[in-house]
Structure 1
């Protein structure tokens, strides 16, 4: 759709990205593994579209969209390379930081700017909801704030797993390995321990071995690598835990992570759920 929009704009048409259309809904992937399955497809598609950044006649706005779509995944191997190089410099004694109690002003400013890039969009999202007076649709002001804090925490914990997965996806896309374009499931289903272990155990094992190696060289470095390393070591139980339907139902009943379609479901969604419930019954299915 973004490629079509860019080519239409180059042909002289006006193209609008309309964000306020209603009546169309799509379920998100229900768990982390399903999300990564979708991301692999999106990564390959975005990298294929990246060549259009240099296409003659493309409007600068559309070029920026192609750059953003590419960096959504290429940023992962860049982050991984940054961590790898920083750890190597630390362990070799070549780091520019002699003591974390005396942080250079440039690095402190870079750290603050990074935090702004990560969290300011979430803060602005809350402000936008409050300005429109829509907080009741998200469970009220307190529900909106506690849900935002929980979502931010989950994003921080899952970010290292996404980093390694996206780095692998970029490598696979650049090497031309064949990809099966199969859409991930949308219905909620708990991830079995066996499935999570089969897909995440190799990564966990490699991280554990690296942690042992770093500890043998400089144990103090583990403390600074823990925000990234610990989520990777706990990737299997975190994936299984966050996929549990009962946990999601409990959080929803307590006002966590509510969206307007849940707090006040539109009529079209209620009718869709009603028909889906009827068709799920064997007699109704046989009749149909």
Structure 2
């Protein structure tokens, strides 16, 4: 990691390489293998672009018409600008989800192969002929559960003939001496229990470059020994069967530089997390499949549970320190999608395994913890503003970076639109002529479009009885989906307000650090909830009083947001109450398939790979 301006080298000419050459000549580039016709991919991208442009234009036109009753004044123009900023993320989410459902209905179990033809090149019987490093960066985490997860993968691999091809690295950035001692003790215990396994532990004295810097130093030291490396987060869980599937695909696909697995949530104990990951699972399933259809070779990198070709990554995906001052300068907090763009610029594909497999992560245990995580990701994604103009990136990679920004730009824009609308309420002449039915219809359309990824993901389950049974049956899936949507409607304004305040703070040089995440808690205390969420509460109460005095009918539009903001503190606390959490577990509400597995099923036999 060097403190230099980010000026990458120009693209070299593309040259075909076989697998061995990729390892030994990382500075060369690959040509299109032709397994998916490039012209067909361009047509897909043009179709998706056209659909999104039309959708955004229609939604913008409808809002312009609604605000035009009585003529447009400055505040309404400002509202239109804010509204326009929310539309790209809304539209792309809808179309990705619709495409995902269509692909799933049309191709069923083969949908992932359709969007990633490389998956069709393997049978699952191929020998492992490469060396792989499994790396887990840690920073002030409780090492016991993280090492337990890592040992779980190693134990599974030990039941296959391929265990000798995998080495394990614990890369510590911990600056807490007590936690560091526990890390060292845990690794030492692992080594004593499995002396035949290569388990490496390295602790840096400084957290230079954050996680990306930690991995960069690992590659400088040991990267040349491995064909691939598999980065895992401290809360990652992967099964050997999924890892071996990724390795086999990469072995026969020298054009692929990154192969990202679809990551789903683990069974959890709190009502909040169970609801969150239930909705996230269904939204991500349809969204990822649809996105993979047009992203193709410019797929995502989520930073963990992804197999990476070591040599080109080390040669082309190192992240220098961004020049300048302020929260958008310095080391890149959100390294993942930028690394994917750099890998594609180097001539290698980034692909996604758009199917559910044994690839999981833990999700935050409370709303307060979720917001803290979102703020760090928001800060990192906003740094992409400085990277959109990097020379040599493909157009699709630039779109990917912009969408990463848009994901966190949409929430503040939405909140600004609402606040400007509240200001408009003080100008009765501007709103008196607007037909209520028009506004309510537009509000309902936007709400449905916003929920489309989750609705399409639920539809994927409900149309397939076998899938629905894995979740407890169609009735339970429908009930859980309905309750989750209601819960998410309460959560969304609270999170959006927090992001809005944070984005505003970026203009005043406020930024987040890289601290350990809170991954486990029995409940959220009232004092902590109040400390984190008092701004939401104050804003919700003030908006409610403002609208009630000036335009009481506007409370119809604002009720979901006003209730959520005003009651942010009790909502955050109640959704972690042990009694409510136990009730959801005992009744199967928000159950995912892993919740309903028996102990023998959780052992995850490895089929053809069992030694």
Is the pair's TM-score, using the shorter chain for normalization, greater than 0.5?
yes
- Per mean C-alpha deviation after superposition, the further-off stretch among 71-80 and 125-134 is 125-134
CA contact (8 A) 1:31 1:242 kept: yes
CA contact (8 A) 2:476 2:588 kept: yes
Say whether 1:86 aligns with 2:421: yes
Counterpart Cα distance in 2 of 1:187 and 1:267 = 26
**Given the superposition, is the C-alpha separation of residues 21 and 117 from structure 1 closer, same or farther in structure 2, using an over 3 Å criterion?**
closer
2:345 equivalent to 1:10: yes
The answer as to whether partners of 1:43 and 1:173 remain within 8 angstroms in 2 is no
- Pairing 1:243–2:568 present: no
Please name the residue that 1:72 is paired with: 407
Tell whether 2:375 aligns with 1:40: yes
Q: Is the Cα–Cα contact under 8 Å of residues 189 and 243 in structure 1 kept in the other structure?
A: yes
Deviation at 1:114, TM superposition (A): 1.5
Alpha-carbon distance change, 14 to 109 in structure 1, aligned in 2, over 3 angstroms: same
2:528 matched to 1:195?
yes
Q: What is the CA–CA distance in structure 2 between the aligned matches of 1:102 and 1:144, rounded to whole Å?
A: 32
- 1:169 is aligned to 502
Tell me which residue corresponds to 1:279: none
The structure with the larger Rg is 2
SS of 1:207's equivalent in the other structure is helix
Between stretches 7-16 and 200-209, larger displacement belongs to 200-209
Alignment of 1:120-269 (within 5 A): 120-131=452-463, 133-264=466-597
Residues 1:216 and 1:54: Cα distance change in structure 2 (over 3 Å) = same
> Does residue 55 in structure 1 map to residue 390 in structure 2?
yes
The answer to which structure has the higher helix fraction is 1
Q: Deviations over 1:140-167 (max 9, x none)?
A: 1111111111110001111111111010
Match of 1:114 among 446, 455, 470: 446
| 8 A Cα contact 1:138 1:144, kept in partner | yes
Cα deviation per residue 1:245-279 (whole Å; 9 max; x = unaligned)? 331221121121011111116869669xxxxxxxx
The SS at the match of 1:95 is helix
With 144-153 and 76-85 compared, the bigger mean Cα shift is at: 76-85
Q: CA deviation at 1:192?
A: 0.8
Alignment gaps of 5+ in structure 2 = 1-335, 605-611
Counterpart-to-counterpart distance in 1, 2:371 and 2:340: 26
1:284 matched to which residue of 2? none
Root-mean-square deviation (Å) = 2.5
Write out per-residue CA displacement over residues 128-185 of structure 1, whole angstroms, 9 at most, x where no aligned residue: 2245531112111111111111110001111111111010121233433242212321
- Whether the 8 Å contact between 2:371 and 2:495 is mirrored in structure 1 is yes
Structure 1: tracts of 5 or more residues without a match: 272-288
TM-score by length of structure 1 reads 0.83
Show CA shifts across 1:203-258 (max 9, x none). Answer: 31343234334433344433432221111111111110001233122112112101
Tell me, in whole angstroms, the C-alpha distance in 2 between the residues paired with 1:111 and 1:76. 16
Q: Deviations over 1:11-48 (max 9, x none)?
A: 11122122337443211001100000100111011111
**Structure 1's 120 and 179: CA in aligned 2 closer, same or farther, altered over 3 A?**
closer
Question: Would the aligned equivalents of 1:252 and 1:258 in 2 still touch at CA under 8 Å?
Answer: yes
Aligned to 1:91, the other structure's residue is in SS state coil
The normalised TM-score by structure 2 is 0.41
- SS of the residue aligned with 1:215? helix
The 8 Å contact of residues 77 and 167 in structure 1, kept in 2 or not, is answered as yes
